[in-house]
């Protein structure tokens, strides 16, 4: 555990530049070895900024000095390059979602198990302790019998050139914003969620969904309403409503590192506000991945991550399959 994890980077995304790579650069246990992009100029730019070598995709996963690969490519490329990295014997941290295809997710997670390699999606919010506190409150019966989860993640329209508006690259609100509340629902309730119905607003000109909602249910009948999109004022929150109390957690998915999120609890004749701790969830996500990769493959530790990836892909696929399609425009707020 004293050695450094050497990471190769596939892709030069905005999230990598703003969040993930600066965190990696600041960790003593991490070495960024190489970065690849479809554009040689962009790879050279990132390599200069983060002190590594520009390279091609194949070169990164074939390098003997690369222990793990961070994949921040467009969604449509996640399956191919995750598979190729695992086949090359590299641990993989993939930006969310791993894939929106249930069969692909199953094949990738099984390959990781067979090769005894760490495979994780970079859902940074899962590493924030505020969600563990919510799970503790649920387990303690603080809300009575849970009846409803409502989770929302949305933000204003993106620049017209943003790849999330490009159908051929796997764009769309469901796979970018919608997977957050989907993964939250799984983290709270586990396997067995079923899709009861959904609607997607689709920009016909672009061929991508720009917003939507889905109604899910747990095996015990807890209704789960998920809201997401690119046509909204910013919202990042979820609410639990039970037989004896309700709660709301704001800034749930993307809190700034110094922000303490309020968790508000309401009962019939009582209200309470709990202030959640401020943590750097991207740093915790990378730290956790590095621990797992350097510590050696541990099935009991990695099993939840693989199950979560499979269920997120399955639910996203089912939502798309059953959704009623409504008209929408990419730039319409």
pLDDT of residue 3: 86
Positive/negative CA dihedral, 329, 330, 331, 333: positive
pLDDT tens for each residue of 78-121: 999 999 999 999 999 999 999 999 999 999 999 999 999 999 99
Closest CA to 237 of 127, 173, 155, 150: 150
For the annotated catalytic residues, the residue numbers are 96
pLDDT of residue 297: 93
Instruction: Check pLDDT > 90 for residue 213.
Output: yes
pTM: 0.96
Q: Compute the C-alpha angle 202/205/207, nearest 5°.
A: 50
Binned at pLDDT 50, 70 and 90, residue 331 comes out as confident
pLDDT tens for each residue of 22-62: 999 999 999 999 999 999 999 999 999 999 999 999 999 99
Query: Does residue 156 contact residue 232 with C-beta atoms inside 8 Å?
Result: yes
All domains of the chain in start order, with CATH: 5-124+283-298 (3.40.50.720), 128-279+315-327 (3.30.360.10)
Mean pLDDT of the chain: 96
pLDDT tens for each residue of 279-289: 999 999 999 99
Instruction: Check pLDDT > 50 for residue 192.
Output: yes
Task: Give the C-alpha distances (Å, rounded to integers) separating 183 from 25, 135, 225, 321.
Answer: 28, 14, 13, 18
pLDDT of residue 332: 63
């Amino acid at each position: 555990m004293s050695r450094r994890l050497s990471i190769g980077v596939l892709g030069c995304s905005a999230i990598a530049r703003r969040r993930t790579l600066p965190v990696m650069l600041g960790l003593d246990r991490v070495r960024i070895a190489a970065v690849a992009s479809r554009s040689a100029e962009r790879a050279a730019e990132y390599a200069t900024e983060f002190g590594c070598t520009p390279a091609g995709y194949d070169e990164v996963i074939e390098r003997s000095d690369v222990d793990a690969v961070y994949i921040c490519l467009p969604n449509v490329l996640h399956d191919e390059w995750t598979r190729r990295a695992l086949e090359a014997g590299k641990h993989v941290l993939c930006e969310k979602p791993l894939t929106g295809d249930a069969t692909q997710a199953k094949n990738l997670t099984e390959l990781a198990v067979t090769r005894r390699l760490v495979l994780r999606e970079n859902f940074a919010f899962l590493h924030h302790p505020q969600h563990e506190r919510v799970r503790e409150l649920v387990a303690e019966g603080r809300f009575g019998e849970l009846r409803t989860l409502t989770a929302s993640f949305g933000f204003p329209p993106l620049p017209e050139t943003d790849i999330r508006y490009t159908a051929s690259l796997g764009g769309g609100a469901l796979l970018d914003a919608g997977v957050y509340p989907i993964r939250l629902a799984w983290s709270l309730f586990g396997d067995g969620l079923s899709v009861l119905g959904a609607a997607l607003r689709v920009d016909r000109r672009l061929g991508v969904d720009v917003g939507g909602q889905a109604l899910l249910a747990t095996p015990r009948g807890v209704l789960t309403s998920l809201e997401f999109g690119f046509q909204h004022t910013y919202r990042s929150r979820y609410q639990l409503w039970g037989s004896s109390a309700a709660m709301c957690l704001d800034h749930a998915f993307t809190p700034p590192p110094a922000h303490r999120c309020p968790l508000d609890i309401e009962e019939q004749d009582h209200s309470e506000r709990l202030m959640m701790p401020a943590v750097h969830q991207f740093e915790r996500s990378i730290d956790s991945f590095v621990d797992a990769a350097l510590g050696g493959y541990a099935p009991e530790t990695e099993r939840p991550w693989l199950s979560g990836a499979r269920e997120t892909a399955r639910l996203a696929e089912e939502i798309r399959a059953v959704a009623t399609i409504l008209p929408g425009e990419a730039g319409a707020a």
